[in-house]
Amino acid sequence: MRIHILGICGTFMGGIAAIAKALGYQVSGCDEHVYPPMSTQLEALGITLIQGYDPKQLQPQPDCVIIGNAMRRGNPAVEYVLDHNIPYFSGPEWLYRYVLQNKWVLAVSGTHGKTSTSGMLAWILEYANMSPGFLIGGIPGNFNVSARIGDTPFFVIEADEYDTAFFDKRSKFLHYRPRTLIINNLEFDHADIFDNLTAIQKQFHYMVRAVPQSGLIIYPQSDQAIQSTLQQGCWSEQQTTGENGCWQAIQANHDDSQFTVEMDDTIQGHINWQLIGAHNKANALAAIAAARHVGITPQHAIEALNQFKNAKRRLEFKGTFNGVKVYDDFAHHPTAIATTLSGLRRHVGTEKIYAVVEFGSYTMRNGTHQHTIMQAFIDADEVLIKQHEIKGWDMRHLLEQTTKPIKLFAQTDDIVAYLQKNAKANEHILVMSNKGFDGIFQRLLGMTKITPPCHS
């Protein structure tokens, strides 16, 4: 069977392609941005990649087409599929029908922390010789791929609440039907498809309704939005994490790189790992609880996490220039920004932190959080923001929200020039974006001399 994938170079669709290839299908695909690293990963698997959406690539006709959620009506390839009645699926629909239907699905959902927690859970199962399948929105540090079919019934998936396809506006995760479900947290996001938090909660409740009675739902005790969602109806066992929860982290050190895991007031073991931050501590508790549901003892899970390496772009240390340390993080929501900065602050103490931000997501770019975003930078000493022309709000109004040093820059080159001039040894630059930020790391760490901007 030949499968052709429209929009193949995204992390999720690239993972679908890798899994389909492992199942023995002939796989090809196209995208408007075919470039490394995803292009080289797919080509190494023997998957044919095509630049653009010329309908000629659908001749001869494939047996089915998988359509990514970035595809829209009017796309030439989409229109050809519809006009010629070629069988088509969304990525999540195909994944359930051909992969997940007979699996024990462990799904990791929530506004933040899905990639990290999914990576932790997959690694715990791998460490326990359970050889899980997985599909994660990043490449976990303990693996060299973001997706694989696995050799056992267990499958870990990053369960995204974003919509499925232009022809299916339900959240992706409604297709996965998990037996073990982690809900990390629940906040308003994705303003391009959801009107408010209530609309997101409705989708989460639909997922909860599909968890079997023998299933398990794991969530932080303190999250009121999750609690109110579950109060709409829940038929599965629940376990809570965090303060007053079933699972707790106690005796943590200053940056949460070491802590003790407790379940029902009984110590299970001690974590001493490479990660920092309260958010990763919370993610670890959820992963340990989920692993226990499939038979892995907390002690064995803790051993695994002590060897865990996080995915790229999760407070990832990139290098230094002139004694200045540079980090990369995917944070693209006020809560994620605040949590990441808090973790770094605890790690570096009083040393200066520059927060360098590109508002990449639709929710951030359209000003949804414009009146509260500056509160997220409480642990930064100086905030540098790449200013975009954004309809609906003027980013200069951010300057009125805080007395903290904040600067707006029209160009990435201006940011690099400013940092090269002002950042000093033993200071820290934390770059936060869910986009590419114009190759800022190559410019900073390569120390390419940037001509300072003419304006002051």
Q: Model confidence over 94-113: pLDDT tens digits?
A: 999 999 999 999 999 998 88
Helix (H, G, I), strand (E, B) or coil at 164: strand
Low-confidence ranges of the chain (pLDDT < 50): 448-456
Q: Which residues touch 215 (CB under 8 Å, ≥6 apart)?
A: 178, 179, 180, 181, 236, 237
What residues does each domain of the chain span? 2-89, 99-305, 316-445
β-strand 180-183 against 168-171: which pairing, if any?
unpaired
Query: Cis ω on the peptide bond leading into residue 76 (within 30° of 0)?
Result: no
**Fold for the domain defined by 2-89:** Rossmann fold (3.40.50)
β-strand 316-321 against 324-329: which pairing, if any?
antiparallel
- CA angle in degrees (0–180, nearest 5) for 209-211-214: 130
How far, in Å, CA of 307 to CA of 152, rounded? 22
Which phi and psi angles does 74 have, rounded to 5°? Answer: 100, -20
Q: Model confidence over 431-443: pLDDT tens digits?
A: 888 766 767 878 7
Q: What is the dihedral of CA 164, 33, 330, 118, to 10 degrees?
A: 50
Q: Model confidence over 114-167: pLDDT tens digits?
A: 998 999 999 999 999 999 999 998 778 788 888 999 999 999 999 998 899 999
Q: What DSSP assignment string belongs to 268-330?
A: EEEEE-S--SHHHHHHHHHHHHHHHHTT--HHHHHHHHTT--PPTTSSEEEEEETTEEEEEE-
Q: What is the DSSP letter of 195?
A: S
Residue 293 has a CB neighbour count (10 Å cut-off) of 18
How far, in Å, CA of 58 to CA of 75, rounded? 13
Residue 127's pLDDT is: 97
Which phi and psi angles does 118 have, rounded to 5°? Answer: -60, -40
Question: Looking at domain 316-445, which of 3.90.190.20, 3.90.79.10, 2.60.40.1120, 3.40.50.300 is its CATH number?
Answer: 3.90.190.20
**Fold for the domain defined by 99-305:** UDP-N-acetylmuramoyl-L-alanine:D-glutamate ligase (3.40.1190)
Residue 453's pLDDT is: 37
- The whole-angstrom distance between residue 22's C-alpha and the CA centroid of its chain comes to 24
β-strand 353-358 against 382-386: which pairing, if any?
parallel
Which phi and psi angles does 197 have, rounded to 5°? Answer: -65, -35
0.85 exceeded by the pTM?
no
